[in-house]
Structure 1
Amino acid sequence: MLDLVLVLAFVAYSVSAGLRARRLASRDLGEFFLAGRTLRGWQAGASMAATQFAADTPLLVTGLVAAGGLSQLWLLWIYGLSFLLLAYVFAGPWRRAQVVTDAELVELRYGGRGALALRACKALYYGGVLNGAALAMVVVGAVRFTEVFMPWHAWLPEAWFQPWVTLVGAFGGGFVAVGGASPEVAGADALLSLVVLLGFTALYSLTGGLRAVVATDVVQLAIMLIGTALYAGAVLVAAGGPSGITAALVAHHGEAQATAWLSLWPGEEIGPALLVVLVLPWLFQASADGTGYLAQRCMACTDETEARRAGLLFAWLQIVIRSVPWVITALGLLVLLPPGPGPVDVAAREQTFVQGIDLLLSPGARGLMLVAMLAALASTIDTHLNWGASYWSHDVYGRLWCEALRGRKPSGRELVWVARAANVGLLVVALILAAKVGSIQSAWHVSLLFGAGIGAVLILRWLWERINLWCEFAAIAVSLVLAPALLAWSEDAHWRLAVMAVSSTTVTILVALFTKPTEVGARVEFFRRARPPGFWGCTASAAGEDPRAPRQALARALGHVLRDGLALYLALYGAVRVLFPLPGEGRVGAIAALVVSAALVVWSRRSRVE
Structure 2
Amino acid sequence: MKLLPLDWLIVLASLLVCFIPALFFGKRAGRNTAEFFASGRSVPWWLAGLSMVATTFSSDTPNWVTQQVRQYGVAGNWQWWAFVLTGVSTVFFFARLWRRSGVMTDLEFYELRYSGRAASIVRGFRAVYLGLFFNCFIMGMVTLAGCKIANILFGLPPWQTILICGVLNVVFAAHSGLWGVLVIDMVQFFIKMTAVVAAAYFGLVEVARHTGAGDGALAGLRKLVDVLGGQQINFQAGAQPVLSAIDGRGQPVLDILPNFAMSELALMIFLVPIAIGWWANWYPGAEPGGGSYIAQRMLASKSEKDSLGGTLFFNVAHYVLRPWPWILTA
TM (normalized to structure 2)? 0.84
Q: In structure 2, what is the equivalent of residue 256 of structure 1? A: 246
| Rounded Cα–Cα distance in structure 1 between residues aligned with 2:90 and 2:128 | 24
Determine the C-alpha separation between the residues in 2 that align with 1:290 and 1:76: 16
Shift of 1:74: 0.8
Which of residues 245, 260, 263 in structure 1 aligns to 2:224? 245
| Aligned residue number for residue 259 of structure 2 | 267
Alignment-derived partner of residue 130 in structure 1 = 134
Is residue 188 of structure 2 the alignment partner of residue 220 of structure 1?
yes
- For the residue of structure 1 that corresponds to 2:252, the secondary structure is helix
**For the residues of structure 2 that align with 1:141 and 1:133, how far apart are their CA atoms?**
13
Partner of 1:58: 62
8 Å contact kept, 2:251–2:258: no
Structure number having the greater helix percentage: 1
Structure 1 residues 199-226: Cα deviation after superposition (integer angstroms, max 9, x where no partner): 2232221210111100100011111112
Aligned-partner residue type, residue 13 of structure 1? V
The reply to whether residue 35 of structure 1 matches residue 39 of structure 2 is: yes
Q: State the AA in 2 paired with 1:254.
A: S
Q: Report 1:118-267 matches (<5 A).
A: 118-152=122-156, 189-240=157-208, 241-249=220-228, 253-256=243-246, 260-267=252-259
**Alpha-carbon distance between aligned partners in 1 of 2:8 and 2:165, rounded to the nearest angstrom:** 14
Where does 1:475-514 land on structure 2 (aligned, <5 Å)? none
- Give, in angstroms, the shift of residue 20 of structure 1: 1.1
Q: Relative contact order (C-alpha < 8 Å, sep 6+): which is higher?
A: 2
- Per-residue CA distance 1:235-285 (angstroms, 9 max, x = gap): 111112123223444589322289622221112223544421223222222
Displacement of 1:3: 1.1
Q: Counterpart of 2:15?
A: 11
Instruction: Please tell me the residue identity of whatever aligns with 2:291.
Output: T
1:285 is aligned to 2:281? yes
Are 2:86 and 1:82 equivalent residues in the alignment?
yes
Amino acid at match of 1:266: P
CA separation in 2, counterparts of 1:33 and 1:124? 19
Contact 2:52 2:297 (8 Å CA) reproduced: yes
Query: Aligned-pair distance for 1:143?
Result: 2.0
Q: Could you say if the C-alpha distance between residues 276 and 264 of structure 1 is closer, same or farther in structure 2, counting changes exceeding 3 Å?
A: same
- Equivalent position SS for 1:263: coil
Alpha-carbon distance between aligned partners in 2 of 1:88 and 1:271, rounded to the nearest angstrom: 29
Q: d(CA) in 2 for partners of 1:294 and 1:213?
A: 13
The residue correspondences of 1:562-601 to structure 2 (distance < 5 A) are none
Q: 1:118–1:65: structure 2 CA closer, same or farther, 3 Å change rule?
A: same
2:293 partner amino acid: Y
Match of 1:103 among 87, 98, 107: 107
Q: Within 1, Cα distance between the matches of 2:289 and 2:33? A: 23
**Structure-2 change in CA distance of 1:75 and 1:114 (3 Å):** same
Match of 1:606 in 2: none
Give the secondary-structure state (helix, strand or coil) at the position aligned to 1:216: helix
Residues 80 and 273 in structure 2, CA contact (< 8 A), matched pair in contact too: no
Q: Helix, strand or coil for the counterpart of 1:102? A: coil
Q: Distance in 2 between matches of 1:210 and 1:22?
A: 10
Q: Give 1:260's aligned amino acid.
A: P
Shift of 1:297: 0.3
Q: Which residue of 2 aligns with 1:303?
A: 303
**1:327, CA displacement in angstroms?**
0.9
Check conservation: 2:251, 2:259, Cα contact below 8 A.
no
Q: Distance in 2 between matches of 1:246 and 1:265?
A: 17
**What letter corresponds to residue 173 of structure 2 in structure 1?**
S
- DSSP-derived class of the 1:101 partner: coil
Report the 3-state secondary structure (helix = DSSP H, G, I; strand = E; otherwise coil) of the residue aligned with 1:262.
coil
Task: Give the Cα–Cα distance (whole angstroms) in 2 for the partners of residues 3 and 58 of structure 1.
Answer: 21
Show the counterpart of 1:560: none
Which segment is superposed worse, 12-21 or 302-311? 12-21
* Count of residue pairs brought into register by the alignment: 294
SS of residue matched to 2:52: helix
Amino acid at match of 1:214: L
8 Å CA contact 1:150, 1:193 repeated in 2 = no
Looking at CA atoms only, which structure, 1 or 2, has the larger radius of gyration? 1
Confirm or deny that 1:315 pairs with 2:326: no
Per-residue CA shift, 1:338-364, capped at 9, x if unaligned?
xxxxxxxxxxxxxxxxxxxxxxxxxxx
For 2:275, the aligned partner's letter is V
Please give the per-residue CA displacement for 1:525-573, whole angstroms capped at 9, x wherever unaligned. xxxxxxxxxxxxxxxxxxxxxxxxxxxxxxxxxxxxxxxxxxxxxxxxx
Where 1:253 maps in the other structure, the secondary structure is strand
Letter of the 2:253 partner, please give it: W
Q: Helix, strand or coil for the counterpart of 2:246?
A: helix
1:88·1:308 contact (CA, 8 Å) conserved in 2?
yes
Percent identical residues = 29
- CA shift, 1:110, in A, is 1.3
Match of 1:254, SS state, is strand
- Is contact 1:54–1:138 with CA below 8 Å preserved after alignment? yes
User: How high is the TM-score relative to the length of structure 1?
Assistant: 0.47
Amino acid across the alignment from 2:125: C
Would the aligned equivalents of 1:18 and 1:204 in 2 still touch at CA under 8 Å?
yes
Does the Cα contact within 8 Å between 1:95 and 1:299 map onto a contact in 2?
Answer: yes
Counterpart code for 2:49: G
Structure 1, residues 2-51: CA drift from partner, whole Å, max 9, x if none? 11111111111211211111112123321111111110000000000001
Q: 1:174-214 CA distances to partner (integer Å, 9 max, x unpaired)?
A: xxxxxxxxxxxxxxx01212222232232221210111100
Gapped runs of 5+ residues in structure 2? 209-219, 232-241
